[in-house]
Amino acid sequence: MPTALITGATSGIGAAFARALAARGDDLVLVARDTERLAESAARLSEVYAIEVETIRADLSVREDVLKVAARLEDADRPVDVLVNNAGFGLHRKLLDPDFSLHEYALEVMCVAVLILGGAAGRAMRSRGHGQIINVSSLAAWLTQGNYSAVKAWVRTYSESLAGELHGTGVTVTALCPGWVRTEFHERAGIRTSALPDWVWTDVDRCVAESLADAGKGRVISVPTKRWKAARVVADLMPRSAIHWVSRKLTRSRD
C-alpha cells in the first residue's frame, strides 16, 4: 500500500487529508505535537479504514524533531509516497510588535520545516522515480497581510521552485492555496470571522479532495472551488497598488 506522511495531522486540513488518504487505502504516518490526540487519531483511522497508522510526536519549531521526521521520509526500507506539509497556524501579530518570538516560531514551523522535509522527501522520491509533495500555502500569499502573507508566499514560491528541480523525475510538487476553509484554524488564531458571508467558506473535505485531484494531475498550484480560482485570477491581474489597498482593508477589519 502507498504511505502518506502528514504534518499537523490531528486537526483542520491535516485531519481531512488523513481521512481522505486513508479512505483511498494509503497507510499513514501522522505527525503532530499532541501525543494524546495523535493516539486518538491513529486508533480511529486504523479502525475505520483498516489501514496501518504510525505516529511521530514532533514540534516542528525544534530542529531535532524536524530532522527526526526527515529521517523517516528518507528511510529506504519504509518508503513514503506522499508528503503533506500542512503544519501551521494563523499569525495575527503586527510586524511592528517588538516581541518577534511568534514570527520566529512561524518561520521555523511553516518555512524552515517545509524546506527540510520537502528536500528529504524530494530526494527519497526522486531515487524511486515517483511521489507527491503537497505544501499547504494560502490565497493570502497573493495579499500583503503581515508575516502570514509573507510566509505563505514563501511556501508557494518554494513549491514552484521545488517542482522545477524535480521536473521529469516522476515526483510532483503542489502548493495548495485555499481561501477561507471551515476549520478551527481562525478561532485558534483569534481571528474574527463572524462578519464573513457563508459563500466565502469552503468545506474542508472538498478543499482536500480537489487538492489531491490537482496533485494527481501534476498541477503545481491548486486553488479549490471555482469562486476562489476566479479570485486568484483577479488577484493576478490587479495592480499591486490595488492589492495593497485590499490588504489594508482586510487587516483593519480584523483589528
> Would you state the pLDDT for residue 231?
92
Closest CA to 210 of 201, 200, 199, 221: 221
Q: Rounded distance, CA 237 to CA 232, Å?
A: 9
List average pLDDT for each run of 10 residues in the chain, which is 255 residues long: 96 96 98 97 97 98 98 98 95 90 97 98 98 97 94 98 98 94 59 60 92 98 95 95 91 69
> Would you state the pLDDT for residue 187?
54
> Would you state the pLDDT for residue 195?
57
> Would you state the pLDDT for residue 181?
83
> Would you state the pLDDT for residue 250?
82
Residues marked as catalytic: 148
> Would you state the pLDDT for residue 189?
45
> Would you state the pLDDT for residue 191?
52
